[in-house]
């Protein structure tokens, strides 16, 4: 039997970007704007396809010129973790 039989499918960042945007749109207070998402007029999430990865930047705090935390997504599990992180940060941003 081939060793590739149990290998996960190749990560496709363009398809994952579409799925990630859909999941983030479901988080109601966020508004999609181009390559990212805004919360109350402030950019809080930016999404970029970089080769065979997906780069997500989260604002540390909701502000006009935020400092960014960067995550590199390389597989489907990373995308799911990213959605969970977005939910946590959204709760924190709306409390501020």
As a whole number, mean pLDDT of residues 38-50 equals: 94
Residue 53's pLDDT is 94
Distances, alpha carbon 93 to alpha carbons 5, 51, 87, in Å: 43, 30, 10
Residue 4's pLDDT is 65
Tens of pLDDT, residues 49-71 = 999 999 999 999 888 889 999 99
> Who's near 77: CB < 8 A, 6+ residues apart?
none
Strands (E), the chain: 31-33, 36-39, 42-50, 53-59, 68-73
**Global confidence as pTM:** 0.86
Domain definitions of the chain by residue range: 9-95
């Amino acid at each position: 039997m081939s060793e590739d039989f149990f290998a996960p499918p190749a990560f496709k960042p363009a398809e994952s970007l579409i799925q990630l945007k859909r999941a983030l749109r479901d988080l109601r207070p966020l508004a999609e704007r181009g390559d990212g998402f805004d919360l109350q007029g402030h950019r809080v999430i930016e999404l970029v396809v970089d080769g065979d990865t997906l780069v997500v930047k989260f604002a540390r705090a909701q502000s006009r010129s935020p400092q960014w935390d960067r995550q590199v997504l390389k597989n489907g599990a990373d995308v799911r973790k990213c959605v969970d992180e977005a939910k946590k940060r959204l709760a924190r941003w709306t409390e501020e």
